[in-house]
Structure 1
């Protein structure tokens, strides 16, 4: 008897399995191919806008994705450095072969965790409560909870031109039967589509015709306590090119041969990462589209053509690739394809990611309608935590929208649902100034430690950083600067605005042209702390007004989060509630007034009627 069975070894599955095992739950990960755990069938990169913040949050809570990325990255850079801190994001180009290999080592070393190479056929369900799984071999495994993280494998079909093959990503076997079983149990499913571009032999590429896109010259890391820092002079380069008119002509002249536009595709594709055919159809006015040539691995002669996913026949793909600058003589090692798969209606889940239909069944990752490795890993972590808490009969761990992008992600899924592959975007977070890449540890490490996922040593280091930040901010309020000659000379020499009178360094740092380096230089003094702590000091002071405004708005949300809605409520008994609101509230079953307020079709008047009803029941 296991405490937790995790079905599927993708990014969601490994996080779920690791966290439940680390919480001392006897766990088994069941997946079709152990060598492909955490595999990257599409772009071998981690992070980017909003997604990078998800990875930092996973790390702050004790998850694995950040550490594994630091171990295996080929290149790393901070995006949007010239913009405000709310949209800055770290992105790493990972080694496609090393990433799963290192993750498998981590899984194999983890106590309380067994690994089984097998496909699951059905769940064992009694009285709407999951009791285990039935394997394709016909044998059974019993457990207290089950977490489904099947990614893009359920009833998967690979599509190239007019051909549809029942198959998972990268020639792996599709998961057949589990999807229909979930429908039998009452879960709605729908078809989604994603895709991947061609892979090119590196030695057939003429890089001299491309623009170099290097990584940053600073050793960033996703983990707040990295075990590995990359060696800057050994980074692998990326390159930038653009499509040409000839490329567009080839695609437009053969658009009816694409799986996307021939009628073969049933599922809805990702809006924010469209195929090249969709780009040309949707953005007809654009003369060219940006593409990146990115390394797949240090150990294989293969590069990835980012931005060029498609489902054209192979012979058309050859023409398309050869029309691009530097790829005139390119050799395609793997052709592009689209893939369709089944996902479940995420509105049938509680915010804990437990099914509302089958007790003790949790679902996480792309099976819930999301797109991307980072979104999957975040859900897997939360599902593993909540399955463990459910076994201990404790309240679920639910992050609010003002606490984490993870909170935004899951709330969007369970409250609003999705009809297309959901991608985490900074624009989805109304409190994005509070949910920054740089402060994920300050927001979430306390939770990770209290859950038992952060070691005491790491927690002590974190507390030292927090104390340093508070101490420096306090000092800057009490240390004053005056317009004496050496100060005005320094400011003038460095083309900085002079001061007119005595002022605290706290106020000086609010100026856009002043940073912590200047303050240290001006006073010939080095603060005894880390670069990350000084960054926090600077951001907190420079954006103080905006941050306080966001905190004030977040406090309103907290008040609504504290107003709980009984789960036995009959919305038909709530007077003056609109019919659409009755239907939506009955379907979603919100846990709080705050969640009810975010349901599409529920308006402020409906919320007031609901509040009146709840007060009468008190």
Structure 2
């Protein structure tokens, strides 16, 4: 039934598993994707959307690295929005509302067209290893499939337990059974495990809603797209979302069910996502607020199913229904299914290396919610990196790791490995100390060459990126080198309430003023002439404007990143005994001994390690 031995076996067909399988197969490794239901590949288990604050940057990075998430987000999009446009470009974050069914279908079709990739539908119930090295997986039918490496992307399925009020039952998500066996195998091998929870809102029938009582939330007037490739086009039509609010009446109705809520009566002890709380949690934590926003999101182009974003709950279904009926526009609501909470096993990610390979078992990789993260985008980028490194290991090539100044992906993995997480981890722009460098617009500049060297990005993609970069650099040089006289620029400056100039000067200095935009600069004849002669597109114009206006900030962050790299180059021996450093705090010694950081820079980011502790380490190492 199977190859004698696969290079990479990926367990789980969610966002992490799909990206892992695609990456490994595209790098030439013979890959098997094993999942419990092939109809649910890359299923959007929760909200029908990709991207958002910091998450949009991750999708752009996945695309630049040759992953599929950006392309599928474009082909299945029903609305596009660039969030945070009122702020600086480091905060701009693309987001699409997706057609849920088409998203999964497009993922399946792309995977089926990927060479070197086989599929098998069954539950994996255990892993096989010998002498601390992975050898394959065991299925629920008792089949043993041999593999040189294994990537576990089990999502919420490991011993998953669904809660609706006082009722609970095993399941990985609504309508699907939980996966059993793997946790026991890993614990027997010495892994530490824990429990986390997440939740989801009710899905409702859009025909029963009164949208005239809600605020319409349309997409951008000129929608962009996620993928840097030109295989997809921006949307020409879009579907709107809508916004409504809860009320004191809704809150009181919800409170009536608190004594039957598994979150409040102790039936759920595990920790849920801090930044995506349930509606009952919001009412409890923010008792001073008399209303909360609800976003009513369509699940596709043609379906009448809607997702009630902001109403995640595990309250009894009758309480959910009564409360939701009191929301404006929901007076006649009909449920497709109630909201629920789910508890599942995860494995603290401090047990991993930066490649996402486990420290205990060689050739075994973890990606996605098994590492304590939450979100499609966070899962997908881990899957991509695990798939890349599993393939590289089998091919006996050097490992691939992204640093904190190279990608949000690097920030996410470093946070997990170095600091661990005791609650579902979600990415934010505030977690990245170099976010001016890690913008959504320049992910291709940062990562395409790396992807090309790995064999993921095509020569065509590489050439397209280089052409865009050369065009933007040349246009920036044009502004640095070209002068403009007062007669031509002053009318533009005065129209923008900006101080006029008395003598000719370089355009770069004028353009760098806060209230000057590319549209303003195009009123200068020589600028417009340059754009037309060189046929510059929107991407190049945007890139040029950002590089001119934020040159000082970008340069400052690059200098800070260079200092970081000097510490990254200070390697710590793998068997270093921190307990002998008596001048270091006991907390620091214990945590460093457990995590065994590879560099001084990584050691400095371990929770509980102070600058004084790092000074002791540097002195000991002769620095």
TM-score (norm 2): 0.97
Per the alignment, residue 118 of structure 1 pairs with 122
Deviations 1:371-412 (A, max 9, x none): 000000000000011111111222211111111100110000
Instruction: Give the distance between the partners of 2:601 and 2:79, measured in 1 at CA.
Output: 41
In the TM superposition, what are the counterparts of 1:253-332 in structure 2 within 5 Å?
Answer: 253-332=256-335
Per the alignment, residue 601 of structure 1 pairs with 608
Report the secondary structure of 1:70's partner residue.
Answer: helix
Per the alignment, residue 104 of structure 2 pairs with 100
Report the secondary structure of 2:434's partner residue.
Answer: coil
In the TM superposition, what are the counterparts of 1:543-582 in structure 2 within 5 Å?
Answer: 543-582=550-589
Deviations 1:483-535 (A, max 9, x none): 12x44344445655422221111111101221222222221425122211111
> Does structure 2 conserve the Cα–Cα contact (< 8 Å) formed by 1:575 and 1:609?
no
- Out of 197, 207, 211, the residue aligned to residue 215 of structure 2 is 211
Instruction: Give the distance between the partners of 1:179 and 1:128, measured in 2 at CA.
Output: 17
Per the alignment, residue 243 of structure 1 pairs with 246
Per the alignment, residue 509 of structure 2 pairs with 507
- Out of 178, 188, 205, the residue aligned to residue 201 of structure 1 is 205
Report the secondary structure of 1:498's partner residue.
Answer: coil
Per the alignment, residue 390 of structure 1 pairs with 393
State whether structure 2 residue 52 is matched by structure 1 residue 45: no
Distance of aligned partners of 1:488 and 1:274 in 2 relative to their CA distance in 1, 3 Å threshold? same
> Does structure 2 conserve the Cα–Cα contact (< 8 Å) formed by 1:217 and 1:232?
no
In the TM superposition, what are the counterparts of 1:528-547 in structure 2 within 5 Å?
Answer: 528-547=535-554
Instruction: Give the distance between the partners of 1:592 and 1:350, measured in 2 at CA.
Output: 12
In the TM superposition, what are the counterparts of 1:134-533 in structure 2 within 5 Å?
Answer: 134-233=138-237, 235-484=238-487, 486-493=488-495, 496-523=498-525, 524-525=528-529, 527=531, 528-533=535-540
Instruction: Give the distance between the partners of 1:178 and 1:319, measured in 2 at CA.
Output: 40
State whether structure 2 residue 12 is matched by structure 1 residue 5: no
> Does structure 2 conserve the Cα–Cα contact (< 8 Å) formed by 1:219 and 1:229?
no
Deviations 1:438-479 (A, max 9, x none): 111111111111111110011111100111111111111111
> Does structure 1 conserve the Cα–Cα contact (< 8 Å) formed by 2:132 and 2:361?
yes
Q: What is the deviation of 1:207?
A: 0.5
State whether structure 2 residue 612 is matched by structure 1 residue 610: no
Distance of aligned partners of 1:488 and 1:579 in 2 relative to their CA distance in 1, 3 Å threshold? closer
Instruction: Give the distance between the partners of 1:381 and 1:11, measured in 2 at CA.
Output: 9
Deviations 1:296-350 (A, max 9, x none): 1223221110000101111111101101000000101111100110000100000
> Does structure 2 conserve the Cα–Cα contact (< 8 Å) formed by 1:71 and 1:227?
no
> Does structure 1 conserve the Cα–Cα contact (< 8 Å) formed by 2:492 and 2:520?
no
Instruction: Give the distance between the partners of 1:298 and 1:487, measured in 2 at CA.
Output: 48
Report the secondary structure of 1:40's partner residue.
Answer: coil
Report the secondary structure of 1:284's partner residue.
Answer: coil
TM-score (norm 1): 0.97
Deviations 1:179-213 (A, max 9, x none): 12111111111110101001110111111101100
Name whichever of 495-504 and 105-114 sits farther off.
Answer: 495-504
> Unaligned stretches of 5+ in structure 1?
none
Instruction: Give the distance between the partners of 1:489 and 1:433, measured in 2 at CA.
Output: 32
Deviations 1:27-50 (A, max 9, x none): 000000011011011101000000
Q: What is the deviation of 1:122?
A: 0.8
Per the alignment, residue 89 of structure 2 pairs with 85
> Does structure 1 conserve the Cα–Cα contact (< 8 Å) formed by 2:496 and 2:515?
no
Q: State the number of aligned residues.
A: 614
Q: What is the deviation of 1:230?
A: 3.9
> Does structure 1 conserve the Cα–Cα contact (< 8 Å) formed by 2:508 and 2:548?
yes
Deviations 1:244-290 (A, max 9, x none): 11101111222111121121112110000000000000001111101
- Out of 578, 584, 587, the residue aligned to residue 594 of structure 2 is 587
Q: What is the deviation of 1:366?
A: 0.6
Instruction: Give the distance between the partners of 2:572 and 2:281, measured in 1 at CA.
Output: 43
Report the secondary structure of 1:239's partner residue.
Answer: strand
Name whichever of 513-522 and 263-272 sits farther off.
Answer: 513-522
Report the secondary structure of 1:287's partner residue.
Answer: coil
Report the secondary structure of 2:262's partner residue.
Answer: coil
Instruction: Give the distance between the partners of 2:608 and 2:247, measured in 1 at CA.
Output: 45
> Does structure 1 conserve the Cα–Cα contact (< 8 Å) formed by 2:11 and 2:17?
yes
> Does structure 1 conserve the Cα–Cα contact (< 8 Å) formed by 2:382 and 2:413?
yes
Instruction: Give the distance between the partners of 1:530 and 1:555, measured in 2 at CA.
Output: 32
> Does structure 2 conserve the Cα–Cα contact (< 8 Å) formed by 1:575 and 1:613?
no
Deviations 1:71-112 (A, max 9, x none): 001111000111111111011011110101110011111100
Q: What is the deviation of 1:357?
A: 0.6
> Does structure 1 conserve the Cα–Cα contact (< 8 Å) formed by 2:579 and 2:590?
no
Instruction: Give the distance between the partners of 1:490 and 1:411, measured in 2 at CA.
Output: 47
> Does structure 2 conserve the Cα–Cα contact (< 8 Å) formed by 1:276 and 1:310?
yes
- Out of 114, 131, 135, the residue aligned to residue 135 of structure 2 is 131
Name whichever of 449-458 and 490-499 sits farther off.
Answer: 490-499
Report the secondary structure of 1:340's partner residue.
Answer: strand
Instruction: Give the distance between the partners of 1:300 and 1:536, measured in 2 at CA.
Output: 38
Q: What is the deviation of 1:581?
A: 1.8
> Unaligned stretches of 5+ in structure 2?
none
Name whichever of 262-271 and 110-119 sits farther off.
Answer: 262-271
